[in-house]
Amino acid sequence: MGTLLMGRRTLDTSRLEERIARAMTGFTVLGVREGDAVALLMRNDIPFVEASVAVGRLGAYAVPLNWHGSAGELRHILLDCKPRVVVVHADLAPLLEAASYLDVAKIYVQTPEEIAAAYAIDAAACRVPDGALEWEAWLGGCSLYTGPARASVPISYTSGTTGTPKGIQPVPVAPEQERLSAARRARTFGIRPGVRSLISGPLYHSMQSANMRTALAALGPHGLMVIEPRFDAERLLALVHEHRITQLMLVPVMFVRLLRLPESVRRKYDVSSIEWVIHSAAPCPFEIKKSMIEWWGPVINEFYGSTETGPVTLVGSEEYLRKPGTVGRVIPGCTVKVLDEDGREVPNGTPGEIAAFNPLHPDFAYRNCPEQRASLDRGGLIASGDIGYFDQDGYLFLCDRKKDMVISGGVNIFPAEIEAALLDLPGVKDCAVFGIPDEEYGEVLAAHIELMPGANVSEANVRSHLRARLGGLKLPRIVRFETALPREDNGKIYKRRISDPYWKAVGRRI
């Protein structure tokens, strides 16, 4: 039978199924019914898997919470989804207090040693409060569930980096559609029967959660799922080597950290077992991806899509090297169009808003925001908010996020163009370009730049480099150097955390 492994803990799939069935009974006793929400304020852990699957089989919605978020964001999500129950790691429970959200059934999970060590958590913070429901004891007191099994997938909340987080609630689908959807997901993620999968990205992220559920269904009698509390570059290599891992879902920032390891460290580990690496969520610089392909072989694959549409394009290593920067061609059966501001399809090579439809992905609603769901409709396609274009061979390229567009003196500027130019400057590791308030132009540009270790790059170097490549209006008014840029665990730079102080000073956002 298949096995889950986390640190020194192992759980075979027959025992996992028993525990999921007990959790289903326990949630039912606590009043969870079809369509209800159960919030998971948890780090990566085996109980996260158990709770998420159990809630879904009741036809209820698991709501994984990003525990990196602010108390205000957490409170908004909890008030919006109104969970019947919150399952929380003991060390994260103070976040519920900070969010002023306490009047709900809570099940505490003792924070395991693996997590405590990974995050340097004090032992006292890991203990379950006296008299509280504790996951293991609670499960042990529950009988096996014998009621009808249903199916739902978690509600994912948008990151909130550009506005109030919205809950993406999938519409239930017929069993045959779910079977077809799961099969396509498995092909896109590179998951085959008997997969040996390593999960080191945060399970609160929708794609990592989908990867986990898909791999779990494919373990069979010999498969393995290794769950890590957090990403560590050398440890990932060691686990691949030790357990002959075949499939991983990574994000570009993980590639960067892997490539930063000394050559002597990289040579210590055999990665030849890897069959498929899938990545998405954030743009990957060409040189980074090329270096990963040279190291790991042609196993690096990328999809483009969103939580709302699921994957709609796919590109493998060899295609990517022929078409640097592409996010691939349209997956058969999906529809992707590039539209102008009037919703008309534009010619190849012309940037426009990307809109897509995946017939095997469940339709969705924004929980409590029907008007915002309607605003995304483009004649049956879902607008992504991304700007991109198709080349003459049908490969899709991304230019920018529409909502990241800066309007300076009436001219539309896409920060991704400036960021791409900055990434060509030797010594620049990463950067964020965004609009800041200006009395004359409305907005001007600011660039925050993270340098490679030991790099010697000055503001004058930056301006000279950009001036040779871009028009004057696209030159940042402000250039600042950072030791590290704030990121979500999915690899995306958290631009709002950098830009908010500029806007708060003038009391507006546009």
Mark residue 7 as left, alpha or beta (left: phi above 0; alpha: psi -120 to 50; beta: remaining).
Answer: left
In this predicted structure, what is the pLDDT of residue 409? 61
Annotated domain spans of the chain: 9-170, 405-504
Q: How confident is the model at residue 283 (pLDDT cuts 50, 70, 90)?
A: low
Strand residues in 228-290 grouped as ranges (E): 247-250, 276-279
The stretch 232-247 carries a mean pLDDT of 98
- Tokens read off for 347: 């010619």
pTM of the model: 0.81
Model confidence at 403: pLDDT above 80: no
User: Of all residues in the chain, what percent carry a pLDDT higher than 90?
Assistant: 65
Q: How far apart are CA 261 and CA 277, in angstroms?
A: 19
Taking alpha carbons only, the member of 45, 55, 74, 368 closest to residue 226 is 45
| Helix/strand/coil percentages in the chain, nearest 5 | 35, 25, 40
The stretch 369-396 carries a mean pLDDT of 90
Please name the residue that has the structure tokens 């889950």.
4
In this predicted structure, what is the pLDDT of residue 509? 55
Q: In the beta sheet, which residues pair with residue 203?
A: none
Q: How confident is the model at residue 410 (pLDDT cuts 50, 70, 90)?
A: low
In this predicted structure, what is the pLDDT of residue 368? 85
Q: How confident is the model at residue 238 (pLDDT cuts 50, 70, 90)?
A: very high
Model confidence at 377: pLDDT above 70: yes
If you ran DSSP here, which 8-state letter would residue 173 be given? -
pLDDT in tens, 175-199: 888 888 889 999 999 999 999 999 9
If you ran DSSP here, which 8-state letter would residue 349 be given? T
In this predicted structure, what is the pLDDT of residue 189? 97
The stretch 430-437 carries a mean pLDDT of 91
Q: How confident is the model at residue 162 (pLDDT cuts 50, 70, 90)?
A: very low
pLDDT in tens, 42-55: 999 999 999 999 99
The stretch 237-243 carries a mean pLDDT of 98
Q: How confident is the model at residue 114 (pLDDT cuts 50, 70, 90)?
A: very high
Which of these ranges, 3-12, 129-138, 284-293, 499-508, has the smallest mean pLDDT?
499-508
Q: How confident is the model at residue 214 (pLDDT cuts 50, 70, 90)?
A: very high
- Tokens read off for 40: 């998971």
pLDDT in tens, 63-111: 999 887 778 778 989 999 999 999 999 999 999 988 888 789 999 999 9
Return phi, psi of residue 133, to 5°.
-65, 125
Give the CA radius of gyration of the chain.
23
CATH topology of domain 405-504: GMP Synthetase; Chain A, domain 3 (3.30.300)
Where would I find the H helices in 379-446? 415-423
Which of these ranges, 56-60, 294-298, 436-440, has the smallest mean pLDDT?
436-440
Mean pLDDT of the chain: 90
CATH number of 9-170: 3.40.50.12780
pLDDT in tens, 469-494: 887 778 999 999 999 898 876 677 88
Q: How confident is the model at residue 407 (pLDDT cuts 50, 70, 90)?
A: confident
The stretch 366-372 carries a mean pLDDT of 84
- Residues contacting 34, CB < 8 A, separation 6+: 58, 59, 60, 150
Residues 81, 85, 89, CA angle at the centre, nearest 5°? Answer: 105
pLDDT in tens, 24-45: 999 999 999 999 999 999 999 9
Model confidence at 161: pLDDT above 60: no
